[in-house]
Amino acid sequence: MTRTTTPALQLPRTLSRPQFTDISRDALAAAAPELAAVPAEFIRHGLRAKSPQMQAGIAALAPSHLPPSIPRSHLPQALTVPLRAPPPGAPAPPSYPTHALAIAPPAKSSSGERDAPQAIFPVHAVVLAAHCAKIPRLPSPPRTHSASASVTLPVLPLALPSPQAYSILHAFMYTHRLDAALASLLPMPPAFLESLCSTSQTPASVVAAALNTPAVRHTLAAHLCASSGGNLSALMAHAGHVKELWQDMVALGMYDLALWDALDLAWEVVLGAMNLAAQ
């Protein structure tokens, strides 16, 4: 494979897609036994309809009792988090998360890195099981009654290359918004992001068309190059973010075709912007 080498980062020409693997039926059965035999695409489609209730459930967690990160040495087996009253107009009833992921890069030899902060993400087990083929079977959470004032979330440590990149994937699993995923990776022209929210075309078709149209890729690359001031170091940082997202998608076993097209588009745009900056 042809590579472009820089002092700070080795860039592959393409980010290879791993061979497709179906989601784990064992993990799915643990999260939602009634869905164990349902095709994955049907499950994901159904979850999109329930996304407002699930996001409302996450938003109901009191932030004062849900730290954004916890040192590995102080990681509890579970977090008990009080619930806030839902705001007016919130979906009813909210669907509360079932677990908390504690994400950090794989621990290395030094004691400081072994005790690095673990980023905390409240999640619904069924969302993870329906999107991530490599997610392990999550332990069963305690039952939560609708009148409960708190929820108890079992904590699952998970080693991923980039907690920051996972935050993009976490949002995508709930919203399926390609515009938000791309905007989290790169500065994109507002008109292009708005086109992903058009009612005349699906976001996936817009991204696929852009990926296969050199003129559109060039326009996006020129915008990125200009927004970065033609600075190669800034563009390499963008390339690093895209590559981290790729690594997390591979590690989790995420095979959403539209998201992969968006990742490929972001990579093409970064490489194009670097070529323009080098001219």
Contacts of 14 (CB under 8 A, 6+ apart): 1, 264, 267
Q: How many domains does the chain have?
A: 2
Half-sphere exposure of 12 (CA within 13 A, CB side): 11
d(C-alpha 104, C-alpha 117), whole Å: 7
Number of neighbours of residue 250 by Cβ within 10 angstroms: 16
Same domain, 50 and 150: yes
Task: Say whether both 133 and 39 belong to one domain.
Answer: yes
CB 129 within 8 A of CB 31: yes
What's the domain range around 256?
Answer: 162-279
Residue ranges in the chain whose pLDDT is less than 70: 1-10, 90-91, 109-114, 144-147
What is the predicted pLDDT for the residue at 59? 92
**Residue 8, pLDDT score:** 46
- CA–CA distance from 208 to each of 178, 202, 204 (Å)? 11, 10, 6
**For residue 36, which amino acid is it?**
A
> What is the spatial distance between Cα 161 and Cα 105, in angstroms, rounded to a whole number?
5
User: Domain boundary residue among 114, 129, 159?
Assistant: 159
Q: Nearest CA to 250 among 2, 25, 47, 21?
A: 21
Sequence length of the chain is 279
pLDDT at 225: 96
pTM above 0.75, yes or no: yes
- In angstroms, the CA 149 to CA 79 distance is 14
Which residue, among 54, 81, 65, has the nearest Cα to 150 in the 3D structure? 81
- 272, 172: one domain: yes
Domain assignment present for residue 48? The answer is yes
Answer yes or no: do 139 and 194 share one domain: no
- How far apart are alpha carbons 114 and 108 in whole angstroms? 6
Cβ–Cβ < 8 Å for 166, 121: yes
Q: Is 79 in contact with 152 (CB distance < 8 Å)?
A: yes
Secondary element (H or E) of residue 151: strand 150-159
Same domain, yes or no: 185 and 201 = yes
Q: Are 136 and 251 in contact (CB under 8 A)?
A: no
- The answer to whether residue 8 is domain-embedded is no
Whether residue 150 sits in one domain with residue 34: yes
What is the pLDDT at residue 5? 41
For 264, the enclosing helix (H) or strand (E) is: helix 257-278
**Do 127 and 220 reside in the same domain of the chain?**
no
Contact residues for 235 (Cβ-Cβ < 8 A; gap 6+): 224, 225, 228, 270, 273, 274, 277
Supply the pLDDT for residue 93.
Answer: 83
The distance of Cα 157 from the centroid of its chain, to the nearest Å, equals: 16
Asked whether residue 12 is domain-assigned, the answer is no
- DSSP one-letter code for 83: B
